[in-house]
Structure 1
Amino acid sequence: MKERIYLAGLIIIGNEILSGRTEDKNIAYIANSLSKSGIRLNEVRVIADIEEEIILAINNFRDRFDYVFTTGGIGPTHDDITTQSIAKAFGVENVLNQDAYKILLDYYGDRKKINESRMRMAYAPEGSELIYNNISKAPGFKKENVFILAGVPKIMRSMFDAILPTLKKGRILNSIEINAKVPEGVIAPELTKIQEKYHEIEIGSYPYYENDSAGTILVLRSINKEALKNGEIEVLNLIKRFT
């Protein structure tokens, strides 16, 4: 029986990302970590802090992927609406999570310091599990196959690293990178033939310019190590013809 491949989707929530004010630094970390664990990040979607958009994206992703991760919108301010929107996506109430409240109480040390805004961070979709955060303490949440994470990179990584060991993992996608110091257009026709020959391999072609010279980074990826090696040999032979 073949080991299955697990698929994931990532929803980045935040007007600050779409406006260009904040540069996302979470995609690469999540993608690399999942890839090393045999989980493939198949789609990333960036959406605004709009309840209807969040609900649509969550329901679309949770039906299509084994794992769904969201980043952003779980803080204490008025525009942090991710948690309540996800509750609506699941058709449940957004309720005070007593464990989350206790974490905040232990962190702030005084109930009076937990104002109405901070209290928002203790609410979660009914039936959620906590995702612990050892940086700022306010937790993320897991509801079925949806993992609700912070947007701040350092905090997101703390949460993500806590949940990664708990995920079911599939076959590792092996990768080989080749620096072809020839223009992409020169090798493209023959590269297409190699891709058509090796259906088990994904060949990515990424052109670059360095010191006024054109080159191409080729990335070969496959769960089949033998096919990957054979594909690598053919690609290297192709490059030799033009160098």
Structure 2
Amino acid sequence: MSPDQTVTAAILVIGDEILSGRTKDKNIGYIAEYLTAIGVDLREVRVVPDVEEEIVDALNALRHRYSYVFTTGGIGPTHDDITADSVAKAFGVAIDYDPRAVALLRQRFHGAELNEARMRMTRIPDGADLVSNKISLAPGFWIGNVIVMAGVPTIMQSMLDEVGPKLKTGKKMLAESVRADTKEGDIGTELGEIARAHPDVSIGSYPFFDDKLGPNTNVVIRSRDADKLATAKAAVEAMLASVKARLKAG
């Protein structure tokens, strides 16, 4: 793929425990930073319960819209771990115990009984490639443009490291941050004008509280073109100087 083409992605987080608040998601931010660093744009995140119909509907919507879909959660040994079956249904393929996955779990448990619960982790949709798991060996899988990973952060990160080098990537997004030293409301109109004048650059304002100055703002400028990024940053800096001079005089 040409480095100038945009590669997009979505994350589908699966699990009742996320929606109930019992488990706090630690994967979205990690995946987002990882993808940004390699030149993949994360465009959407959805969270769905352990309900087959909702997983299938969300997966089919996302996989036809984006270059990649990364799922997290629902591939463990319990009765509500239904992600693999739901993915198979979304793709219209069969699912069964995969001998490659079975061999990995035999290695993991050193001859201990592979009971029904553990065997659930070896169910892989037909045609899928396994995604290695160096932490506990129970694999994820990759079918079409969908990459199915565990919900446990350390295992998910291990799986992401495995698939990362195989992903198609585009031109990396560049970013600059400018500390405004003004309140967000003091520069909102002017930032909007700069954004309209630089349509190929993304400009966002992010308020924060400074212990010495009180309410403050960071302005983040993002673009894949270094020259356009520099031009927009210069415009932001000139605007901030003008606004602060006006506020001081007033």
TM range (shorter): over 0.9
Tell me the equivalent position of 2:113.
Answer: 113
Alpha-carbon separation, structure 2, partners of 1:2 and 1:195: 25
Alpha-carbon separation, structure 2, partners of 1:185 and 1:108: 59
Please tell me whether the aligned partners of residues 105 and 137 of structure 2 are also in contact (alpha carbons under 8 angstroms). yes
**How far off its partner does 1:118 sit?**
0.3
Taking the TM superposition and a 5 Å limit, the aligned residue runs for 1:108-187 are 108-110=109-111, 112-187=112-187
**How far off its partner does 1:162 sit?**
0.5
The alignment status of 1:28 with 2:29, answered yes or no, reads yes
**How far off its partner does 1:93 sit?**
1.3
For residues 138-186 of structure 1, give each alpha carbon's deviation from its aligned partner in whole angstroms, at most 9, with x where no partner exists.
Answer: 0000011000000000000000010000011111010111121111010
Matched residue pairs, number? 242
Runs of 4+ in 1 over 3 A off after TM superposition: none
Please tell me whether the aligned partners of residues 3 and 170 of structure 2 are also in contact (alpha carbons under 8 angstroms). no
Matching residue's letter, 1:234: A
Taking the TM superposition and a 5 Å limit, the aligned residue runs for 1:9-20 are 9-20=10-21
Matching residue's letter, 1:48: P
Alpha-carbon separation, structure 1, partners of 2:107 and 2:34: 31
Segments of structure 2 that go 5 or more residues without pairing to the other structure are 245-250
Tell me the equivalent position of 1:229.
Answer: 230
Alpha-carbon separation, structure 1, partners of 2:176 and 2:197: 18
Alpha-carbon separation, structure 1, partners of 2:186 and 2:70: 39
With the length of structure 1 as denominator, give the TM-score of the two structures: 0.97
Q: Secondary structure at the match of 1:113?
A: coil
Matching residue's letter, 1:78: H
Matching residue's letter, 2:60: N
Tell me the equivalent position of 1:210.
Answer: 210
The alignment status of 1:50 with 2:41, answered yes or no, reads no
Matching residue's letter, 2:51: I
Tell me the equivalent position of 1:104.
Answer: 105
Please tell me whether the aligned partners of residues 133 and 140 of structure 2 are also in contact (alpha carbons under 8 angstroms). yes
For residues 7-43 of structure 1, give each alpha carbon's deviation from its aligned partner in whole angstroms, at most 9, with x where no partner exists.
Answer: 0011001111111111111111111111111110000
Tell me the equivalent position of 2:6.
Answer: 5
**How far off its partner does 1:217 sit?**
1.4
With the length of structure 2 as denominator, give the TM-score of the two structures: 0.94
Alpha-carbon separation, structure 2, partners of 1:62 and 1:241: 46
Worse overlay, 150-159 or 86-95: 86-95
Please tell me whether the aligned partners of residues 3 and 171 of structure 2 are also in contact (alpha carbons under 8 angstroms). no
Alpha-carbon separation, structure 1, partners of 2:3 and 2:89: 37
Tell me the equivalent position of 1:82.
Answer: 83
Alpha-carbon separation, structure 1, partners of 2:225 and 2:204: 16
**How far off its partner does 1:136 sit?**
0.8
Q: Secondary structure at the match of 2:64?
A: helix
**How far off its partner does 1:50 sit?**
0.7
Please tell me whether the aligned partners of residues 3 and 169 of structure 2 are also in contact (alpha carbons under 8 angstroms). no
Tell me the equivalent position of 2:247.
Answer: none
**Could you tell me the percent identity over the aligned residues?**
44
Matching residue's letter, 1:240: A
Alpha-carbon separation, structure 2, partners of 1:220 and 1:12: 29
**How far off its partner does 1:2 sit?**
7.0
Matching residue's letter, 2:243: F
For residues 72-119 of structure 1, give each alpha carbon's deviation from its aligned partner in whole angstroms, at most 9, with x where no partner exists.
Answer: 000000111111011101111121111011000111111x52110000
